[in-house]
């Protein structure tokens, strides 16, 4: 089928094209408590086609994309190609070149052992310590080996294999006739057994404490400590503002070899894009357009170093060897956990929702569970919200030397933002 698609695309005389063929071989397991309820195997294939067209006498380039079924007929393929060729003429962008081939594009082509990965997840869940008050209600495990082939009009024909896993867990906590459920979803490549066990143990403790919370009493400015996966939103703010798209559209004011804020009184962040990260599901040899992914420092010690992003905006900025990042590592913390957990602060471990706007810097979060530390005692609280702006926090934020990984992001385990506005649940 792919050969016929290539023939059709070449015959239409379009400016360029890309075909992405992703084959997924996977296993799924469904447990109630720790008893296997059902399991199944799956084999799925997704084929996406993207067409580029030049219009306005070479002054504009447009593109359109769509998915086509692997079982599509000759008529369906012709209709799709003609439709995309037409739709691409309706889009007007400044001209740009398409990604050229490179020797480093393909990976070794080795398939992942989904049996071993599945066994690691099942073993980890069976070893999880539970109590009469906190235990696992159910969990679902999805493990896949993905083969991805990318073929383009510029001569790229690259293939990569990588594992992709997900586990969804429901934890129950009960006390004095009351019971709640906490839901967790973990994405990864292979199984991070230690990290999964550690996080689920914390989750059961959070469930216990959620049943004895008091309304959040704080109103005004407060130091807020982040110690969970929501911290990723804070660091995505830096990654987004180093993207070629935001720079070109002037949605970010970062400049190469200049500090990302006026003055620093706290830790200076270092952000790196990595080709590989242990247990990540995003260990790709190339991005969606065929650009080779390389280890690259985006921000070093608080100073912008390299912009990266998709082909179009990278061309507009004149960037060489640019790509869309998949794995991110953040460092720069200089504080121990004991230092960050001293004094008065609010540690938020559960949000109903937490957002960071990469363009404005605004942050907002609704508190589901937090711990209020007054310097002497610790009280679990819930309700209320936090707000503020990363523009005010970047210069004085503090980070731990220790790290934590959430799939494709490895970041400081603890992040302290100073002077966050906290609105309590009490009037």
**Which of 208, 236, 251 is the last residue in one of the domains?**
208
**Which of 161, 184, 208 is the last residue in one of the domains?**
208
The rounded distance, in Å, linking the Cα atoms of 395 and 298 is: 18
Same domain, 122 and 239: no
Q: Residue 199, SS3?
A: helix
Predicted pLDDT at 104: 60
Helical segments of 47-129, H only: 74-88, 114-126
**Of 32-36, 105-109, 189-193, 421-425, minimum mean pLDDT range:** 105-109
37 burial (CB, 10 Å; 0-12 / 13-18 / 19+) is exposed
CB 14, CB 149: distance < 8 Å: no
Strands 362-374, 398-399: parallel, antiparallel or unpaired by DSSP? unpaired
CB 409, CB 230: distance < 8 Å: no
Predicted pLDDT at 105: 55
Average pLDDT over residues 380-386: 96
Average pLDDT over residues 253-269: 96
Residue with tokens 């589901």: 368
pLDDT digits (tens, 9 = 90+) for 51-67: 999 999 999 999 999 99
Same domain, 124 and 240: no
- Domains contained in the chain, number: 2
| pLDDT > 70: percent of the chain | 98
pLDDT band at residue 110 under the 50/70/90 scheme = confident
Average pLDDT over residues 414-422: 97
pLDDT band at residue 331 under the 50/70/90 scheme = very high
CB 388, CB 417: distance < 8 Å: yes
Closest CA to 393 of 415, 414, 409, 412: 415
Same domain, 20 and 60: yes
Predicted pLDDT at 106: 57
Residue 309 domain boundaries = 213-427
DSSP 302-329: TEE---B--HHHHHHTT-SS-----EEE
CB 128, CB 197: distance < 8 Å: yes
Residue 180 predicted with pLDDT over 80: yes
**Which of 208, 226, 255 is the last residue in one of the domains?**
208
pTM across the whole model: 0.94
Average pLDDT over residues 11-30: 97
Predicted pLDDT at 107: 55
pLDDT band at residue 109 under the 50/70/90 scheme = low
Closest CA to 15 of 52, 64, 44, 43: 52
Average pLDDT over residues 159-185: 95
What's the CATH code of the domain at 48? 3.30.2290.10
pLDDT band at residue 315 under the 50/70/90 scheme = very high
Average pLDDT over residues 243-269: 97
Predicted pLDDT at 280: 97
Q: Residue 133, SS3?
A: coil
Same domain, 204 and 319: no
Same domain, 316 and 254: yes
Same domain, 217 and 191: no
Predicted pLDDT at 337: 96
Same domain, 201 and 217: no
Residues 6 or more apart in contact with residue 235 via CB below 8 angstroms: 269, 271, 328, 330, 409, 411
Same domain, 317 and 390: yes
Average pLDDT over residues 385-393: 97
Residue 339 predicted with pLDDT over 70: yes
Q: Kindly state the helix (H) or strand (E) to which residue 135 belongs, with its residue range.
A: strand 134-152
Average pLDDT over residues 137-158: 97
pLDDT band at residue 79 under the 50/70/90 scheme = very high
Residues 6 or more apart in contact with residue 406 via CB below 8 angstroms: 229, 232
Average pLDDT, the chain: 95
Average pLDDT over residues 318-345: 96
Closest CA to 100 of 305, 334, 286, 346: 286
pLDDT band at residue 88 under the 50/70/90 scheme = very high
Same domain, 87 and 133: yes
The rounded distance, in Å, linking the Cα atoms of 122 and 120 is: 6
55 burial (CB, 10 Å; 0-12 / 13-18 / 19+) is middle
Same domain, 240 and 302: yes
Q: Torsions phi, psi of 120, nearest 5?
A: -65, -45
CB 252, CB 246: distance < 8 Å: yes
Same domain, 78 and 179: yes
Q: How many helices and strands (H and E) does the chain possess?
A: 9, 20
Q: Residue 229, SS3?
A: coil
Same domain, 220 and 204: no
Helical segments of 220-330, H only: 231-241, 244-248, 311-316
Predicted pLDDT at 375: 84
Average pLDDT over residues 141-149: 97
Rounded to the nearest angstrom, the gap between the alpha carbon of residue 190 and the centroid of all alpha carbons in its chain is 16
């Amino acid at each position: 089928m792919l050969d016929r698609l290539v023939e059709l695309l070449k015959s239409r005389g379009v400016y360029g094209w890309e075909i992405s063929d992703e084959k997924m071989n996977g296993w799924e397991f469904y447990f109630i408590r720790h008893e296997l309820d059902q399991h199944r195997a799956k084999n799925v294939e997704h084929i996406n086609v993207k067409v580029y067209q030049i219009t306005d006498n070479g002054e504009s380039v447009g593109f359109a994309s769509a998915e086509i079924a692997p079982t599509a007929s000759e008529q369906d393929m012709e209709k799709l190609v003609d439709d995309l060729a037409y739709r691409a003429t309706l889009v007007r962008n400044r001209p740009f070149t398409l990604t050229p081939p490179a020797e480093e594009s393909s990976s070794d082509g080795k398939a992942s052992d989904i049996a071993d990965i599945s066994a690691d997840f099942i073993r980890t869940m069976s070893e999880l310590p539970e109590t009469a008050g906190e235990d696992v209600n159910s969990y679902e495990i999805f493990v896949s080996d993905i083969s991805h082939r990318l073929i383009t009009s510029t001569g790229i024909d690259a293939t990569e294999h990588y594992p992709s896993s997900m586990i969804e867990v429901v934890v129950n906590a009960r006390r004095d006739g009351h019971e709640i459920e906490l839901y967790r979803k973990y994405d990864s490549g292979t199984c991070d057994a230690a990290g999964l066990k550690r996080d689920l143990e914390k989750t059961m403790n959070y469930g216990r404490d959620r049943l004895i919370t008091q309304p959040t009493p704080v109103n005004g400015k407060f130091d807020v400590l982040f110690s969970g996966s929501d911290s990723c939103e804070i660091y995505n703010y830096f990654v987004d503002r180093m993207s070629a798209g935001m720079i070109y559209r002037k949605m970010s004011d970062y400049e190469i070899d200049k500090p990302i804020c006026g003055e620093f009184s706290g830790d200076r962040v270092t952000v790196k894009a990595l080709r590989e990260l242990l247990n990540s599901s995003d260990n790709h040899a190339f991005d969606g357009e065929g650009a080779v992914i390389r280890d690259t420092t985006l921000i070093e010690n608080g100073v912008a170093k390299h912009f990266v992003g998709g082909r179009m905006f990278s061309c507009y900025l004149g960037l060489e060897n640019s790509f869309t990042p998949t794995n991110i590592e953040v460092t720069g913390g200089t504080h121990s956990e004991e230092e960050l957990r001293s004094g008065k602060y609010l540690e938020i471990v559960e949000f109903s929702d937490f957002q960071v706007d990469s363009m404005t810097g605004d942050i907002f979060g609704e508190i589901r569970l937090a711990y209020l530390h007054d310097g002497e005692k610790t009280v679990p609280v819930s309700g209320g919200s936090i707000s503020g702006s990363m523009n005010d926090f970047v210069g004085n934020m503090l980070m731990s030397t220790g790290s934590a990984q959430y799939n494709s992001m490895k970041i400081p385990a603890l992040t302290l933002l100073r002077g966050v506005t906290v609105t309590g649940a009490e009037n």
